[in-house]
Each structure stands twice: as C-alpha cells, then as structure tokens.
Amino acid sequence: MKLSSHIKSEEKLRESAQILQSILETTLDGFWSVDYQGNLVDVNSTYCQQSGYTKEELLTMQISQLDAIQSLLEIQENMKMIMEQKHTQFETKHRRKDGSIWDVEISITIFDISGGRFFAFLRDITQRKKMEEALLQSEKMLMINSRQAAMGEMISMIAHQWRQPLNIMGLAIANVQTKQALNLLSPTELENKFDIISSNISYMSNTIDDFRDFFKPDQSKVQITIEDVITSALDIVGKTFQNENITITVHNDTHRSLLLYKNKLIQVILNLLNNARYILISKKIKDATISITVYETEEAITISICDNGGGISKKNLAHLGEPYFTTKELNGTGLGLYIGKTILEKYFAGKLTWHNTKKGACFIITIREEIIS
C-alpha cells in the first residue's frame, strides 16, 4: 500500500512538472531559471526566439552576457537586493545574438530550491517603448505649437502696449518741433520733453525684457513666491488689459516660497488670462473683471482665475481641455488648456480644473510643489 501511494505521488509530481513545463513553453513571455551566480540553468523557447540564441547556447551564458545596460557589478548588486526583497520588477535592455538591442520588462521571484533559484519572466516591450517615444514626441510638438501660438499673442500684446508710449513720444517730438520753429521752446521745456521720451523708451525696453524673459526656456527650478509669478505675468499683459478696460484684481493669502519652473507656470496663467480676455471682449461685457485668488492648504497651493463673462456652455464644458478643441471663432488653436493641463501634471504634480459660477467661468490651478519657508 505504501509503495502504491509513493508511486501515485511520483506520478502526480511528474504530471505537475509536465504541466508547468507546458505552460512555460507556451507563454508569450520569455522565462529564465538562474542560479545565485547568475548562470542560466533553464530557459523557454520564447526567450530563445526573443534573443536569437538556441537553448543550448543560453545555458552556457550568464546574465551579464545578455544585459546591454548593466555591468557585472551592477547585476550582482541587484541580485543581492532581490534576495532581500524576494520579488521585484524592472525594465532594462538585452542584446540579441545578432547584436541588436531590445527593451525588456523583467519580473523576478526567488525560490529556495536547488541551492537557490531566480525565476524570471521576460516580456518584450520594444513596441510599447516605441509608442511611448512617439507619444513623447507628439507631446513635444504640441508644446512647441502652443508656445508658437503664445508667441503670436505676445507679439500682439507688445503692439498694444507700445501704441500708447509711441503716441506720447510722437506728440512730444511734434510739440518740440513746432515750438522750436516758432522760437518758443525754452531749455526747461525741452528737458521736460526729453524726460517724457526717455521714460517711455525705458518702459518699452522693460516690456521687451519681460517678453524675452518669458520666452527663455526653464533650465531649472527657481525659488519664488506665487505673488512674484503673478506679478511677472501681469507685467507682460497688464497694460493691454488696462487699455481694453478689463479690471484685474488679485487676492493673495500666501507669501511662502515654492521651488518651481517659473516660466512654465507663467505660461499657464497667461493662457487663462488671455482666454478670459477673449470672452470678455467678444461678448462686450460691461465692467469686465478678472479676479485672481491665491490660497494654500497643507498639501497644495491653489490659484483661481475667474471672469464675469457669463460662463461656458454645457456643450463646450464637456470638451474643454481636449487637444485642438477651441471655442474661439478666429485664431484659436485648441492647445492652450490641453498644454496647461499637461504642464501642471508633468512639472508641478498638479492639475487644472474649471467650472461655471453665477457670473462667469473659473479656472483652478492646483500645484503640489516643494514648499520652502
């Protein structure tokens, strides 16, 4: 009876081993069994196809001969870490027999059998990586297109902001020429006119500096308050809004510093301000107003930009933020809000949301950055 029971147990073990081997041979992922010295002791046919090596060749090789990124020392350190953690998952690159490189995602578990074994499943993620790279390039192109659209708007802003000082200087010069022709120009009055012209030239020069600083790419984060970011944004567009009789109010409850990409946040704020400006002008809103409110919680700082332009229709509200969707009848790219969302999510661990109020629309910037006292 004992012998019969033992035979049955061995048969079940063999059957289980055959089932396991069948699973390993039919899985779409590669499989390794590796000893603690990094030697391959078993592989499946899928990994042979992935790598271009035969099973016989692979069983004479070590991990270091296949990994295209990590050195032998790095592999040994990783193996020690896996022994401690018992399981891990990571991405790397392997080198095929023909020398080509492929992206691989590896899931490893350690088993205390046969002196210790690493069981690894290896998935070819080359196509996924190509798709991720294509998506990244697409995102970069969207950012470039949005930046170019913003540049067009900024040039228009410069024209608006320069119109008044150019008129003032033109009148001052005409006045000087007229009085000089009539011999009525005193030295004091001439000096006064020169001061007016000099002041306006300085203003125009500062305007160019503001725009130039905005279009410089952010190389690194800077320590700055949200108040200073908003001031920089208003230095760029404030005069234009003033000339169009749009009142901007700012209420700020925080004066703490943040470590952030200044120009990227300015870009988001400018886009929201210009969107509100478009609505207020196109709808010919009387007493047009934009309110900027800044407040902080324990986890984030929030900037709300609200207008009294009547709000967004339910139809458009559902599609806002989608790439190339725009509510502007002319010159709308449909990239502003999408890029704004992308910037906040990617560089500020934040988000951009919006909703209607009784008077108009509110756009909420939430940023979670390292707060520095």
Of the three residues 89, 124, 159, the one that is the final residue of a domain is 124
How far is 341 from 364, CA to CA, in rounded Å? 11
How far is 252 from 145, CA to CA, in rounded Å? 32
301 and 153 housed in the same domain: yes
118 and 176 housed in the same domain: no
* Nearest-5° Cα angle at 90, 84 to 94: 115
Which residues neighbour 95 within 8 Å (Cβ) at sequence distance 6 or greater? 66, 67, 68, 101
What digits encode the pLDDT tens for the residues 277-333? 989 998 999 999 999 999 988 788 999 999 999 988 888 877 777 766 666 655 555
Of the three residues 124, 154, 180, the one that is the final residue of a domain is 124
Element housing 186 (H / E)? none
Of 50-64, 146-160, 259-273, the poorest mean pLDDT is in 146-160
- How far is Cα of residue 235 from the mean position of the Cα atoms in its chain? 25
How far is 229 from 221, CA to CA, in rounded Å? 13
More confident residue, 338 or 148: 338
Model pLDDT, residue 152: 67
Residue with tokens 């478009």: 278
89 and 175 housed in the same domain: no
108 and 140 housed in the same domain: no
CATH number (domain holding residue 15): 3.30.450.20
138 and 120 housed in the same domain: no
What is the arithmetic mean of pLDDT over 46-68?
93
140 and 162 housed in the same domain: yes
pLDDT classification of 373: cutoffs 50, 70, 90: very low
Q: Which two tokens stand for residue 35?
A: 């000893």
Which residues neighbour 106 within 8 Å (Cβ) at sequence distance 6 or greater? 89, 90, 91, 92, 120, 121, 122, 123
Model pLDDT, residue 213: 65
How deeply is 356 buried, as exposed, middle or buried, from its count of CB atoms within 10 A (0-12, 13-18, 19+)? Answer: middle
Residue 57 structural domain: 2-124
271 and 192 housed in the same domain: yes
* Overall domain count for the chain: 2
pLDDT at 216 over 70: no
pLDDT at 111 over 90: no
Model pLDDT, residue 372: 47
* 44 torsion bin: left (phi>0), alpha (psi -120 to 50), beta (else): beta
Nearest C-alpha neighbor of 288 from the set 344, 360, 358: 360
pLDDT classification of 98: cutoffs 50, 70, 90: very high
Of the three residues 124, 152, 169, the one that is the final residue of a domain is 124
Kindly list the distances between the CA atom of residue 206 and the CA atoms of 93, 129, 188, in Å, as whole numbers in the listed order: 51, 46, 27
148 and 104 housed in the same domain: no
Q: Are strands 247-252 and 289-296 parallel, antiparallel or unpaired?
A: parallel
Element housing 332 (H / E)? none
222 and 355 housed in the same domain: yes
216 and 242 housed in the same domain: yes
| Mean per-residue pLDDT of the chain | 82
82 and 221 housed in the same domain: no
At 9, phi and psi to the nearest 5? -65, -40
What digits encode the pLDDT tens for the residues 1-29? 455 555 555 666 565 556 556 566 667 78
Q: Are strands 289-296 and 257-260 parallel, antiparallel or unpaired?
A: unpaired
138 and 281 housed in the same domain: yes
pLDDT at 253 over 90: no
Task: Judge contact between 158 and 211, C-beta under 8 A.
Answer: yes
pLDDT at 161 over 90: no
Task: Judge contact between 289 and 360, C-beta under 8 A.
Answer: no
* Nearest-5° Cα angle at 197, 192 to 200: 125
CATH number (domain holding residue 283): 3.30.565.10
Model pLDDT, residue 205: 79
Q: How many CB atoms lie within 10 A of CB 124?
A: 20
